[in-house]
Structures are given as structure tokens and as C-alpha cells.
Amino acid sequence: MFSITVVWYFGTLRCYNGEDDYPSRTFCWLQARFMGPNTVAWSKIGCVCFDVDSTVCVDDGINEFARFLRCKEVENITMRAMNGELDLTEALTMRLDAMKPSSMKVSEFLTSRKSNLTPGVRSLINQLRESGIKVCLVSGGLYPFVAKVAEDVGIPLDNVFSNRLIFAEDGSYAGFDTSAPTCQSNGKALVVGELMKRFHTLVAFVGDGMTDARACPPAEVFIGFGGNVERPAVRAATPYFFHSMNEISKFFKSVGLIPKHTH
């Protein structure tokens, strides 16, 4: 039988169930949907996590890498995973097995392109940092690509969480680090939990996919983003859904996460 227990967590009302020991997503959604943004402890949020593919960046790094390698089947696998139709570990395994990326091809890809940043995201990240908010990138993508994006927007690599490739001595593809939480369907929630401990603060999560929505809880709030790809399941998962980084900036200012005078 399903049961829930209501508790106080960082001064806010949260709900736990006996199966996964995380606050009930249904409770958090109903609380935000029907009780409004005042039920979110905005003043206690000291860290904002961003997904990278189709959120911080316009495109998807693995899909772009697959095009670079002329591997056509990867994009459909990515779409199914982001819509919640595939287990994330399974999807990552399928994509990497299809591409079999060597270290040389990864390097060639990195030097051949610039990060395709979503308009307004650099400004939003700067506003958050100027407001004393820690900013992290939490991605199911590949670390070399995500690290490059982090450097482009001024985020320290200690605040980057993504999947690391493993290569053989000759540089051929040998797998990926399966111990990384970001290769798991609930991995972003695990990362958020660790960040809450590291920074001693509540966390907000911004993203376009269902793996991002599942980071809340333990994230205090999930901000859905549909400026590059709008997913109906994600839009239905949160009352906070925006189509531009400028809209998110204005919203953060309206709830006090960013001071209104910040530019």
C-alpha cells in the first residue's frame, strides 16, 4: 500500500514515501500548482543547476557528435530518452555503442565547433553568480563537451557533472564510467542531493527533459525550459515553464532569487 509522510525540510513542507525515500513528486507539483510560488522557499535557494543539451545549449552535444561521425540512429534514441521512454543508462549505452567514439574523434569534434549557447543564458548565469548563487551544470551528456560549455560561460569545472568516456590504450572506445550518477535515470536527483550537502542550501533545477524534472525532489523547484525543444510531458510536470532565458531571469527577479536591479 502506498503511504506518505509529511515532514518539514529546510523549513518547507515536503512529502516522503516508503519506496524511494524522496519527497513525493505529486505532492510537490500540487503544492506549486495550487498554492503558488510563495510555497517555494526561494530565499533558501543558494544553487541553481542547469541541464546543458537543449537548455544551456541550443543543440544536443551527443546528437551533434553523432552527425559529425555520420551516425544517423543516435538522434532518435536521444529523443526517446528525453521523453522518458527509455532508461537513461540504456539510452547512453545504445548511443555510444552505435558511435564507438575514439579519443581522436572527440578531440577533432571539440576543435571543429563552438558552443551553440541559448540566447540569454550567459546573462542569466552571470546574474545568478552576481547574486551569490552557485551555478552548476548537470548533464547526461559527455564530459569533454559539457566542460567546454562550462568554460565558455564561466562555470568552474568542480561544478560540472556529466558522463566520462573510457578509452583503451590505443584511444579506441572502451565504455563509459557507469559509477557516475548522471548515467542513471535518477542520477540528477542524486547530484542535487550531494550539492545540497556540499553547499548547505536548497537547489533549483532548470531543464528541458524528464530526467531534469525527476531531479525535483530533492530539488526545491523544477523550472521547465521549452525555448529549444518543448516536451509536453515536461510542460505538464511543472507550473514553472518558460520559452526564453530572459523569461526565467524576469521570473527569478519576481520571486527574489535575483535582485531586480541586476543586469
- Please identify every residue annotated as catalytic: 51, 53
- DSSP H helix total and E strand total for the chain: 11, 10
Do β-strands 4-9 and 202-207 pair in parallel, antiparallel, or remain unpaired? unpaired
189 contacts 169 by C-beta, under 8 angstroms: no
Contacts of 189 (CB under 8 A, 6+ apart): 22, 214, 215, 216, 217, 218, 219
User: What DSSP state is assigned to residue 118?
Assistant: P
> C-alpha angle with apex 231: 227 to 233, nearest 5 degrees?
140
User: What DSSP state is assigned to residue 71?
Assistant: -
Distance CA 209, CA 161 (A): 16
User: What DSSP state is assigned to residue 23?
Assistant: B
Distance CA 201, CA 126 (A): 19
* Torsion region of 171: left, alpha or beta (phi above 0 gives left; psi -120 to 50 gives alpha): left
